[in-house]
Amino acid sequence: MHIVVCVKQVPDTKIIKINPKTNTLDRRSAPAILNPYDAHAVQEAVKIKNKTGGTISVLSMGPPQAVAVIKKSVEIGADQGFLISDRAFAGADTLATSYALSKALEKISKDKPIDLVICGKHAIDGDTGQVGPGIARRLDIPPITNVIEVSEVNKEEKYVHIKRKQINGYEVIQSQLPCLLTVEKEINDIEYAPLPNMINAARYEPIIWSVNDLEDVDKTQLGLKGSPTIVGKMFSPPKLEGGKRLEGTADEQVGQLMEVLLERKDLLKLKTANS
């Protein structure tokens, strides 16, 4: 079983500031971390590997310092990692990114065929969730999004059973292998990595590929050139006004809430506007 997990280095958006004048992210204001959803993706790969055996590779695209997220993935339990890093990739939107990553995946699979690709649901700095499905489309394998459980992996008969999150409940599906999963956070808890993993990761040197190391690449589809997306405007959501806390017994609270709703009919309008 060869599982490849795509990971991204992102600024920690819990801390990051937005420059109020230019409305751009002030990346210096926050440390770079492994995208939290991707950490769950690596953890899920480790869980699957513990049952089926095999190899976990991680793949990332980014500047040279993004090797840090590959090392972090090795801490969680990945066996090896690849970073594609080149000026040619810079400025890529989700279309160009998924193209570059799919080319790297093709190269990885030549060495060792890939049975499963796992991605995080989305990156916390862009929130698009497009790269995973974009890769699947390019590799012509099924994309399975919003995964909350991998119930069964059968590598002999090449299928997986998956639970997908839905608005009401979940959906159980079977898919062929290889396929691509994008996972939700609730799929697992990140385990506290064993010390030997930490030592392996400290020692591990990820494999770095430039654009010339990839094969059959159409350079016009890479980086800024290959990115049709235009960011029109960026803004921080307006600060929410402090609410009112209802206190007392449940009955009293319900009473107070009713009063508020009767007084402030505009609060109810939101709902009617949607329906």
Partner 1 sequence: MPEKFDVIVVGAGPAGTSCAYSCAKNGLKVLLIERGEYPGSKNVMGGVLYRKQMEDIIPEFWKEAPLERPVVEQRFWMMDKESVVQFGYKGLEWAVEPYNNFTVLRAQFDQWFAQKAVEQGALLINETVVTECIVENGKVIGVRTDRPDGEAFADVVVLADGVNSLLSKQLGFHREFRPDEVALTVMEVINLPKDKINERFNLEGNHGTTIEIFGDSTKGNLGTAFLYTNKDSLNIGVGTTLSSMIKAKLKPYELLDYLKKHPMVRPYLEGGESAEYLAHLIPEGGFHSVPRVAGNGVLVVGDAAQLVNAIHREGSNMAMASGQMAAEAIVEAKKDGDFSEKSLNRYKEALYGSFIIKDLEKYKDAAHTFEKYPQYFKEYLPMMNQAMSKFFTVDGTPKKEKQKQIMRSVTAEKGTLKVMQDIYRAWKAVK
The position carrying tokens 């008969």 is: 157
| Interface residue list for partner 1 (CB under 8 A) | 31, 192-196, 198-199, 201-203
Say how far apart CA 255 and CA 108 lie, in whole Å: 63
| Structure token pair of residue 135 | 């890769």
Min dist. Cβ of residue 111 to partner 1 (A): 27
DSSP string, 9-37: EEE-TTT-EE-TTT--EEGGGS-EEE-HH
| Structure token pair of residue 60 | 């990332």
Number of H helices, E strands in the chain: 7, 13
Min dist. Cβ of residue 62 to partner 1 (A): 18
**Toward partner 1, which CB reaches closer, 128 or 197?**
197
Residue type, 16: I
**Toward partner 1, which CB reaches closer, 203 or 271?**
203
**Toward partner 1, which CB reaches closer, 183 or 201?**
201
Say how far apart CA 154 and CA 144 lie, in whole Å: 17
Min dist. Cβ of residue 150 to partner 1 (A): 22
Min dist. Cβ of residue 180 to partner 1 (A): 30
**Toward partner 1, which CB reaches closer, 10 or 160?**
10
The position carrying tokens 């709902």 is: 271
CB-based contact 227:95 (threshold 8 Å): yes
Say how far apart CA 11 and CA 27 lie, in whole Å: 6
Distance, CA of 196 to chain centre: 26
**Toward partner 1, which CB reaches closer, 82 or 204?**
204
Min dist. Cβ of residue 70 to partner 1 (A): 15
Min dist. Cβ of residue 202 to partner 1 (A): 4
Cβ partners under 8 Å of residue 228, min gap 6: 93, 95
**Toward partner 1, which CB reaches closer, 203 or 245?**
203
Min dist. Cβ of residue 205 to partner 1 (A): 12
Min dist. Cβ of residue 50 to partner 1 (A): 13
Going by the DSSP 8-state scheme, the letter that residue 100 receives in this structure is: H
- Number of Cβ within 10 Å of residue 40's Cβ equals 24
**Toward partner 1, which CB reaches closer, 195 or 270?**
195
Residue type, 129: G
**Toward partner 1, which CB reaches closer, 25 or 32?**
32
- In sequence order, what are the beta bridge partners of 56? 3
